[in-house]
Amino acid sequence: MNNIQLAAAQIVQQVLVDGRNLNQVLDESLRRKSAWTPSQRAALQDLSYGTLRFYGQLNSMLDLLLHKPMTDSRITYLLLVALYQLQYSRAAQHAVVDHAVRSAGTLNPKIRGLVNAILRNFLRSAPDLLVQAALAPVGRYNHPEWWIDETRNQYDEEVSALILEAGNGHPPMTLRVNRRLGTTAAYLAQMSEQGILARQIGPDALQLEKPLPVDKLPGFFEGLVSVQDAGAQFAAKLLDVRSGMRVLDACAAPGGKAAHILELADVELVALDKDEKRLLRVKENLQRLGLVATLLTGDAASPADWWDGKLFDRILADVPCSASGVVRRHPDIKWLRRKEDIASFAIQQAEILQSLWGILAREGLLLYATCSIFRQENQEVVNGFLAKNPEARQVDLPESQLLPNDQHDGFFYALLQKTA
C-alpha cells in the first residue's frame, strides 16, 4: 500500500502544483509500474481520483490538524491521500497509518513521528474535524470558492447545492446500444442472462448497476454497444439526422457522438478535430463499430483551411468548454480551472459557432453543445450569436440545460436553424 500511497501523492501533487491533466499523469505512472496487478492499478486510480474529488474537505481538515504548514510538500500530499483513505476507503485504519508512516520515512525519516501523530489525531477527532471543515464553502462542497459563487449566482440555493454535490459523486456507467446491430431490449436481456444488472434510461441508453470493464460486456468488441453518458446521447437525436444528409461533427474526438449519428442514419459524415492524435480515437471507435466517416484534421473556427465547399445539412458543434458539467468524471478540472477561463472559452465558442454557420445549408440545423453548467458558455453565447445573425432561429427544445444527476452528466444544447 505504501508504494500506492506514494504514487498517488505524486500524481495529486503534479495535478495541483504543476497543473497537469489527471488522466495523463495517471497513465504515465501506470506505464512505469507495468508489473502492478490489476487491483493495485485500480487502487492507484481510486486514491488519485478520490483525493482530488474531496480535496477541499481533506485540505481543510489537514490545515486544522497542522500547527504550521509542512516544509516538505511531498508529505502534505501523502497526508491528503492517507486522509482520503481513512475517511472514504474500506482499508484497515491501522494499515493506512502504518503505510503512510513508512512512506514518509522513505521521503524524510525525521518526519515519521509527525505523520503518525497527525493521522492518529485525525482518527480521534474526525467527527469534529468534518464539522469544522464544512463551515467553509470549499470544505463543504469540494469546489473552488469562485466556482461555488458562480453556481450560486446562476441557480437557486437548492439547485446549486445539488449541482455541487453531484460534482463530487461517482459517475454512472451508461451504454449506448448500436441499433444497427440490435435493440435495446434484446441487449438488456443478453446482459441479464450473464448476470449483469442494468436498466434502460433512454431510447438507446442502458445504465449499469455497477461499472464493468468493457471486456466483460457481451459483444463490446463486435460493436454491439459503446460506453457513452446518457446526456451525451441527446446530441445525435436532437440533430435529427436523416439518411442521405451531409453531416459535420466538429470537434469530434473521441467519436462517441459521431458514431451515434452513423448508427441512426445513413449519412455522409465528416468528423473534424484539430488534434490529430485525438482523431485516431475517432477512427478506432468507428472501426470497432463497423462505421465509415471522412476524418479531417482542422480547426472548426477556420473552415477555409479544410472545407471542400459543399454545404452541410446538419452540423454538430460540440465546442471546447470548461467541462463544468463532467467534473465527477474529471475531478482535476475543478481545481485547474480559473474564473477567467470561462470568458476565454466563451470567446472561442462564439468564434467557432459563427465560422461553422457559414458552411450550413439553408434550412439546415446546427446543434451547439457544451458539457458546461455555466450560462456564459451556453445561452449567453447563443444569444450573442442570434443578435448578429437574423437568419438564425433557435428551435425550442424540451430541455436545453441538463444538470448532472444520477442518470447523466451536465450538458447544454441549443438547436439553431438557418431560415431561408
| Residues acting as catalytic residues | 371
- Sign of the Cα pseudo-torsion (282, 283, 285, 289, in order): positive
Residue 176, φ and ψ in degrees, nearest 5: -115, 120
Do residues 363 and 417 touch, judged by C-beta distance below 8 A?
Answer: yes
The single residue listed with the C-alpha cell 463544468 is 324
Helix (H) or strand (E) segment spanning residue 365: strand 360-370
Do residues 288 and 223 touch, judged by C-beta distance below 8 A?
Answer: yes
Q: Report d(CA 144, CA 165) in Å as an integer.
A: 13
The single residue listed with the C-alpha cell 458543434 is 317
Beta strands 246-250 and 294-297, pairing class: unpaired
Q: What angle do CA 44, 48, 54 make, to 5 degrees?
A: 140
Q: Report d(CA 281, CA 252) in Å as an integer.
A: 10
Q: Report d(CA 157, CA 324) in Å as an integer.
A: 18
Cis preceding linkage at 254, omega within 30? yes
